[in-house]
Amino acid sequence: MKLLKLVFAFMFCLIAMQTNAQKRKNIKPNVLVIYTDDHRFSGIHALGGMEVKTPNIDRLVDDGVAFTNTYLMGAFTGATCIASRAMLLSGRDLFKLEGQGRVIPSEHATMGETFKKAGYNTHIVGKWHNDNKSLVRSFDSGDKIMGRGVYLVDHFRMPFWDWDKSGAFKKEDAYLLTYDDNGKEIRRALTKEDKRGPIGTELDGPHTSEVFARHAVQYIKKKKGKKPFFMYVAFHAPHDPRQAPKEYRDMYNPETTNLPPSYMPQHPFDNGHMFLRDEELAPWPRTTGVARQHLADYYAIISHLDHQIGKIISALKESGAYENTLIVFAGDSGLAVGNHGLIGKQNIYDEDGIHVPFVLSGNLIKDKGRKIDALSYIHDIFPTVCDITNIDTPISVNGKSLAPVIENETAQVRHETYHAYKQFQRAYRKGDYKLIEYVRANDLHWKYGEQITGSRVTQLFNIKKDPWETQDLSFFPENKELLLKMRNEMKEKALELGDKKENIEGEKYDFWNFFY
């Protein structure tokens, strides 16, 4: 009789364990997407090994998988973050966006919209660089929305909006967060006296990174109900102006900051878009002193950003949500900061413009600490996240899921990458090599009108041996066949992708009309 009771008890425990395991399996994971601005791959210590201190993001790398070959496909506007965010949020490549990506039309399902339909509570904190209609259809709620038409070029004096489910986000509804005479944080409306910066400091008001992290933490702590959450936290850092509190600026001495191998005082030729806001942030030539100061400031704002990200991850752990949350971390573009004599991101060199960090982290990721070199784009993130969370990928998405790579089913889902910047630059990467072609082309300048800029230049790099792209191999006789082969393949890829102005609404000029 005792033996029979023991058998029944064992069977009951076994069934209970299987039932609980099945329940855990059916629980939908939370998703936290952290997207940073102008944050190049080497801007994370654990990935690039540079002097920048990023202990919290480094821990995300250690506690997950990092993709070392993820790229922005390009942009048809100097504000590359517009295209980048449209590609991330829609999962569509550069040539399948609506125009430059400012509008994400209703037929292009967004990431937030997809998770909302799957039963998630969707929430946004931070920067939105696309249209209001796609914003409000993507999220149930939001806080401290940035980028809706008023901008003071100042991380300490940033206009914010409260969530507006109507999608109006009127200019008169924008407000600043400042400190009163007693150091208490208050909100106030903007006035005509609020001039464009950067002129703010930590004495004037909280930094954007602090504001976004605080409200992300508040959402995690106040989250109620059984619905899983999808939260998109879009930081404005480390985008210029590269401001950080003194504590972080003091971490980097400009006089001793090491410059990367690709530092140059001036770019060797006109790449077609040399004179724009980003490049006006530093004088020509970019002396070592100027470049070191910019790099030190870049590292400082990244370290400050890293500290704020650490607060969000700590909140997840303290709330108990970390155990069932997929953390997605990525940057929206590279940034030159002195590389090749450039300051901005309006190019298709790797670190200077298109190479971005992409990390999947948290308790749901197995085989932690891996660095995967599979070629991928920003628009591959959406379908990858869908596959990991068992959410159906919308038919409007044309990015490729990296889940088979993560699960060791294949080493690559792509065998080459293709990149475009306006009508001036194209790049093609395959194997160890990367080809960049530049043209001299017509352009319409907002101030000077119709003009011709750029240069007809070819560059070929062994990207495996020369990741900073310092040695052009295009003119060596032994590379003649390789160069011809890559050019032909690049043209074939352009046709496959539909790289022509007729496919990009509003584009007046076509790279291929100037290529010879």
| 3-state percent breakdown (helix, strand, coil) of the chain, nearest 5 | 35, 20, 45
Cα separation, 435 vs 350, whole angstroms: 12
- Of 295, 306, 410, nearest to 359 by C-alpha is 306
Burial class (CB within 10 angstroms; exposed 0-12, middle 13-18, buried 19+) of 271: buried
Closest CA to 210 of 225, 200, 223, 196: 200
What is the reported pLDDT for 12? Answer: 43
List of domains in the chain: 30-412 (3.40.720.10), 415-516 (3.30.1120.10)
Encoding tokens for residue 97? Answer: 């966006």
Q: Which residues pair with 263 in a beta bridge?
A: 339
Alpha-carbon distance of 416 to 414, in angstroms, equals: 6
**What local confidence, expressed as pLDDT, does residue 449 receive?**
87
Among 403, 20, 397, 389, smallest CA distance to 228 is for: 389
pLDDT in single tens digits along all 516 residues of the chain: 454 454 444 444 443 333 333 334 568 999 999 999 999 999 999 999 999 999 999 999 999 999 999 999 999 999 999 999 999 999 999 999 999 999 999 999 999 999 999 999 999 999 999 999 999 999 999 999 999 999 999 999 999 999 999 999 999 999 999 999 999 999 999 999 999 999 999 999 999 999 999 999 999 999 887 899 999 999 999 999 999 999 999 999 999 999 999 999 999 999 999 988 999 999 999 999 999 999 999 999 999 999 999 999 999 999 999 999 999 999 999 999 999 999 999 999 999 999 999 999 998 899 999 999 999 999 999 999 999 999 999 999 999 999 999 999 999 999 999 999 999 999 999 999 999 999 999 998 888 889 999 999 999 999 999 999 999 999 999 999 999 999 999 999 999 999 999 989 889 999 999 998
Note whether 401 and 380 are within 8 A (CB). yes
For residue 198, cis peptide bond before it (omega within 30 degrees of 0): yes
How many Å apart are CA 101 and CA 92, to the nearest integer? 10
Cα separation, 433 vs 50, whole angstroms: 24
**Backbone phi, psi, residue 98, to 5°:** -85, 110
Query: What is residue 224's predicted lDDT score, i.e. its pLDDT?
Result: 81
Query: How many whole angstroms separate alpha carbon 369 and alpha carbon 245?
Result: 31
